[in-house]
């Protein structure tokens, strides 16, 4: 039986992990990304020339990339979102797509709360000010008693809701596709406009729209309750960043916690706002979750080998 030819194109992969050892026993690793960054389209095409499968991050598998990879049979994504893969083209070429939906849930939910607490308690401001001898006080806010609107009630949205309910928050949510029965105290909104009108905090956990358009638009922000806090640890495209800045300028939005952006690495105008706390798309990047995601991605590859290698 011939060995499976594998490319590892994700920008970071734990080369010392047991998962790597398992791969070496079962595969020929023809490419390993050591650049520390996302591969460009030409680099990705070159990396996949001999590949039967790939362990991927959020690099873009465009129509051109997939068409240029005739041997490719499986893409094993380390993470949840598949928006960087042209799924229609992958289906046409019968390329199996796998992801790791369970692994990042805990880490992303905790990061969401970390951003929220940092905003409400002004922790970055105090940390910075005290180092320069500035002891000016600014009242914080209680999380207890706040109405939290959750947009997207998948695994991560549900975990965040459970945590915030434990802090004494009222949970309202919008997700037209959710099937699972939720706790009776969590209130389902039939329209997004209803949710934003009553929410003190809005946290986004929705997948991106197929056309890349925002879910949280300028028109929707006009209906926000004044002083709202918004958190986005999902995808940058679902939040209109220009409208967000206008909302911050008018103080309709009192603060934002952002881990994802319209383009990354981000160096845009949102960085000028002290009431915006930013992190560089790292919400799932804990040692524990990262290891679990890599192992799950490897398991997906090893399972695929049985199906595609004769």
- 235, 241, 290, 296: the active-site residue: 235
Is 46 tagged catalytic? no
- 241, 281, 294, 296: the active-site residue: 281
Residues of the chain with pLDDT under 50: none
- Total domains in the fold of the chain: 2
Written as six digits, the tokens of 255 are 């603060």
- 102, 219, 264, 288: the active-site residue: 264
Question: 149 and 174 in contact (C-beta within 8 Å)?
Answer: yes
- For residue 292, the enclosing domain spans 4-103+287-308
Question: 301 and 75 in contact (C-beta within 8 Å)?
Answer: no
- Asked if residue 161 and residue 273 are part of one domain, the reply reads yes
Domain CATH for 296: 3.40.50.720
Is 241 tagged catalytic? no
Is 281 tagged catalytic? yes
- Asked if residue 75 and residue 26 are part of one domain, the reply reads yes
- Asked if residue 293 and residue 178 are part of one domain, the reply reads no
* pTM (2 d.p.): 0.88
- Provide the pLDDT for residue 304: 86
- Asked if residue 258 and residue 156 are part of one domain, the reply reads yes
């Amino acid at each position: 039986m011939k060995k499976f030819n594998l490319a590892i194109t994700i920008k970071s992969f734990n080369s010392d992990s047991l998962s790597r050892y398992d791969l070496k026993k079962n595969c020929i690793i023809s490419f390993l990304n050591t650049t520390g960054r996302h591969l460009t389209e030409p680099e990705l095409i070159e990396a996949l020339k001999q590949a039967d499968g790939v362990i991927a991050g959020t690099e873009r598998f465009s129509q051109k990339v997939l068409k240029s990879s005739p041997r490719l049979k499986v893409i094993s994504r380390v993470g949840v979102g598949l928006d960087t893969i042209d799924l229609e083209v992958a289906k046409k070429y019968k390329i199996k797509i796998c992801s790791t939906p369970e692994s990042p849930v805990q880490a992303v939910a905790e990061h969401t709360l970390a951003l929220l607490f940092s905003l409400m308690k002004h922790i970055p401001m105090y940390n910075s000010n005290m180092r320069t001898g500035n002891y000016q006080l600014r009242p914080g806010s209680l999380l207890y008693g706040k109405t939290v609107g959750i947009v997207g009630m998948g695994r991560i949205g549900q975990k965040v809701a459970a945590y915030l309910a434990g802090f004494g928050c009222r949970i309202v949510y919008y997700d037209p596709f959710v099937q699972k029965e939720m706790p009776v105290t969590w209130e389902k909104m039939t329209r997004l406009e209803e949710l934003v009108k009553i929410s003190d905090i809005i946290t986004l956990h929705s997948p991106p729209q197929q056309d890349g358009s925002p879910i949280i638009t300028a028109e929707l922000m006009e209906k926000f309750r004044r002083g709202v806090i918004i958190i986005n640890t999902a995808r940058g495209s679902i939040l209109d960043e220009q409208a967000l800045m206008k909302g911050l300028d008018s103080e309709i939005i009192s603060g934002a916690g952002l881990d994802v952006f319209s383009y990354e690495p981000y160096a845009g105008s949102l960085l000028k706002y002290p009431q915006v706390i930013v992190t560089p798309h790292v919400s799932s990047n804990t040692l524990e979750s990262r290891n679990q995601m890599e192992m799950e991605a490897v398991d997906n590859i090893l399972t695929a080998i049985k199906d595609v290698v004769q």
